Amino acid sequence: MARPVTLFTGQWADLSLAELAPKVKEMGYDGVELACWGDHFDVNAALNDPDYIAQKWALLEEHGLTCYAISSHLVGQAVCDLIDERHEAILPPHVWGDGDPEGVRERAAEEMKITARAARKFFDARPGGAPKRVVVNGFTGSSIWHLLYSFPPIVPGQIDAGYRDFARRWKPILDVFEEEDAYFALEVHPTEIAFDCASADRAIEAINYHPRFGFNYDPSHLGYQGVDYVKFIRDFETYIFHVHVKDAWWGHGNGDVGVFGGHTEFGDSRRFWDFRSPGRGDINFEEIIVALNDISYKGPLSIEWEDIRMNRLHGGAEACAFTRSLDFAPSDVAFDAAFDQDK
């Protein structure tokens, strides 16, 4: 059978889950990937409120929905980042605290450990049983993203130090994921420790191939960079724990703005690239589905919907229908088996 189609709720966190759930069902989805912000999933409540998890599942079941993953991009970002005033806007007050950068990073790391425990508890209570792999998607942040363009010239050892910092901060978190039999899936993305194939390789090596570290595959963040996003699937097949269906287009601006964005806002017609509703950008999803079948990925296809030019309810429904029409189960027989007269 084809894979379940879910909606990542992160871009819909202005709505309560009670408001959003019926809309998700109306748009045609099988379930949700719950964001750990807004009121969609509170990791501390999941651990400490005896009724919280049962109430979440009851709400989802009421609308014929399920869940295969939760996501903690915002808190994860703060684990390795160089903290500044931007982070206060995305972090819970108890993680931001007094804003002291090292304190923020340490509290974010502790919150990610809590997230692993909450995910296991939440999915252990899932009606019908936990998914085969309990996944928390998210970001890692990076202490070296600002060194992307090598001028002034990088001092020898700076990049290596950034990967060591990542490993030092994330290994204790990943050890808790292992204790809880859960997996962390980094969304390979600009501003993270891994943002293309080469940096993803380096991140895996830095973390000493930790069995609980892998990727939330999202082609939209790779294509406009010029990264071969289909090759990524084949190169990292055992590390792909979750998949986002998200589209982007590139080469559609007026030539004023390049791949770095020119300090313009999304939707500015001068931009070289922008996110689009799935099927309306330049990502070749047919090749992606074939590659996912080739590596035997059986998890959900989770739509992260972003398109500043389109009404999101229209776009969400369209994206769900597009993904269902695109996905297909792999063959379980050789195509020419019918010619074998001895069978």
Tokens found for residue 113: 């450990």
Distance of CA 143 to the CA centre of its chain: 20
pLDDT tens sequence across 93-119: 999 999 999 999 999 999 999 999 999
Task: List CB contacts of 84: < 8 A, sequence separation 6 or more.
Answer: 101
The whole-angstrom separation of Cα 206 and Cα 42 is: 30
The whole-angstrom separation of Cα 177 and Cα 170 is: 10
What are the contacts of 332-340 at 24+ separation with CB within 8 A? none
Number of helical (H) and strand (E) elements in the chain, helices listed first: 13, 10
What local confidence, expressed as pLDDT, does residue 2 receive? 84
* Cα-Cα-Cα-Cα dihedral sign, residues 203, 260, 284, 277: positive
Enter the pTM of the model. 0.96
Q: Are 213 and 204 in contact (CB under 8 A)?
A: yes
Residue type, 193: I
DSSP state of 143: S
Give, for all 343 residues of the chain, the pLDDT tens digit: 589 999 999 999 999 999 999 999 999 999 999 999 999 999 999 999 999 999 999 999 999 999 999 999 999 999 999 999 999 999 999 999 999 999 999 999 999 999 999 999 999 999 999 999 999 999 999 999 999 998 999 999 999 999 999 999 999 999 999 999 999 999 999 999 999 999 999 999 999 999 999 999 999 999 999 999 999 999 999 999 999 999 999 999 999 999 999 999 999 999 999 999 999 999 999 999 999 999 999 999 999 999 999 999 999 999 999 999 998 877 776 555 555 555 4
Q: State the CB neighbour count (10 A cutoff) for residue 127.
A: 9
